[in-house]
Amino acid sequence: MKVLVLGAGQLARMMALAGAPLNLRISAYDVNTDAIVHPLTQHQLGTGLAGAIADADVITAEFEHIPLPVLEQCQQSGKFLPGSKAIQAGGDRRLEKALLERCNVASASYRVINNEADFKQAIASLGLPLVFKSALAGYDGKGQWRLKDPAQAQAVWQQMADFLAADSKQAIVAEQFIGFNRELSLVGARAASGEVKVYPLTENHHVNGVLSVSLARPVSKPLQQQAEQMFTAIANGLNYVGVLAIEFFDVSGNLLVNEIAPRVHNSGHWTQQGADVCQFENQLRAVTGLPLGNTELLRPTLMINILGEDTVPEAILSMPGLHLHWYGKDKRPGRKMGHINLSANSPAELKARFAKLIDLLPSAAFPELEQMLSQLN
């Protein structure tokens, strides 16, 4: 079967790697250049969406910020999974918040802001502190403002007013600031039959708004059940087919949804080594109609993002349980260039291996790992 992926980044690349043993042939559509590329080599195979759609058996996506005409063209083909509505819900925070309300899933209270009156009403009704997020195109914490001190309100509004004036399609979503204990995510798959299989909850650590480390280890059953129930409500609400990721705030054991990603997710990269069937393979299985694979945790695993670096000390490759995944991208400051997966047979062994790995990695390129290690119990 031939699968066309909208987006030609590392997620399409890892789908291609996972699909090869199943004889699934993956090509990638670069929405910025209109090129069809081989997701491993970036070798150009052709141009133009219409031909690529005609050639594909199934179409899916590796990101949510896709121009509407592209989504509509794919939707009209009848081959697009999870489909235009799900991708849009992940790409527009107004639709996302409305979806969460419709599915009765808890998340931070919010208001949509289009002008200064909305801004003032948001402060009056939600109180401070607030987090403001651009409705469209936000990622890695970009396009966000915080307001804690009422004295700063005018200055923050001015920045947001300039932002809104620059793009008539944009809006801002104001959210109550959540004092969470930690951030978790749940990655899972839903098949066309409605069957749902989820991986264990993953703990996520961000540095400067960007995911740095994800950790998968045995998790408390009630928390996992809570997350799974919310996942199922959202996936069913979208009649979703494919892999879906949900980011949560854990507030003393109660989960609030932060946001969803209608695709494979950075916090699910650990599944390449920590689970039987990884998120990339399950995504392909779901959209091509193959049975979903086992999502249980096989062994505790953590993932470390490699940001803005195109080398790591070769010595790390000697470590047991370690796998290195490069994305074949040109080096740019802060860019996601690759990741390291580290597995072990027990949480204690994983902690010990993490400590050894930290000693081998340059701390300037991998900040705050020591701190994360010290928080592991």
Binding site for ligand ATP (CB under 6 A): 108, 131, 133, 138-142, 175, 177-178, 183, 206, 209, 247, 258-259
96 or 281: CB nearest ligand ATP:
96
**Which residue has the closest beta carbon to ligand ATP?**
178
Give, in order, the Cα–Cα distances in Å from 2 to each of 52, 78, 226.
10, 15, 36
140 binds, among ligand ATP, Mg ion, none (CB under 5 to 8 A by kind): ligand ATP
Q: How many H-runs (helices) and E-runs (strands) does the chain carry?
A: 12, 18
251 binds, among ligand ATP, Mg ion, none (CB under 5 to 8 A by kind): none
Output the CA angle 359-303-345, nearest 5 degrees.
Answer: 80
Q: How far is the CB of 346 from ligand ATP (least distance, A)?
A: 28
133 or 285: CB nearest ligand ATP:
133
- Helix 116-126 and helix 153-166, axial crossing angle in degrees, nearest 10: 130
178 or 376: CB nearest ligand ATP:
178
| Residue 263 in tokens | 């695709």
Could you say which residues in the range 221-260 bind Mg ion, by CB under 5 A? 247, 259
Distance CA 55, CA 60 (A): 14
Closest CA to 271 of 207, 190, 351, 325: 325
118 binds, among ligand ATP, Mg ion, none (CB under 5 to 8 A by kind): none
- Binding mask 254-273 toward Mg ion (x if CB under 5 A, else -) reads -----x--------------
Distance CA 340, CA 342 (A): 6
Give, in order, the Cα–Cα distances in Å from 258 to each of 54, 120, 147, 348.
37, 23, 18, 30
Q: How far is the CB of 324 from ligand ATP (least distance, A)?
A: 22
Amino acid, res. 329: K
250 binds, among ligand ATP, Mg ion, none (CB under 5 to 8 A by kind): none
27 binds, among ligand ATP, Mg ion, none (CB under 5 to 8 A by kind): none
35 or 89: CB nearest ligand ATP:
89
58 or 304: CB nearest ligand ATP:
304
57 or 259: CB nearest Mg ion:
259
Q: How far is the CB of 135 from Mg ion (least distance, A)?
A: 12
Which contacts of 326-329 are long-range, i.e. CB under 8 A and separated by 24 or more positions?
327/9, 327/10, 327/13, 328/13, 328/40, 328/41, 328/42, 329/9, 329/10
Distance linking the first and last C-alpha atoms of the chain: 45
Chain contacts with Mg ion (rule: CB under 5 A): 247, 259
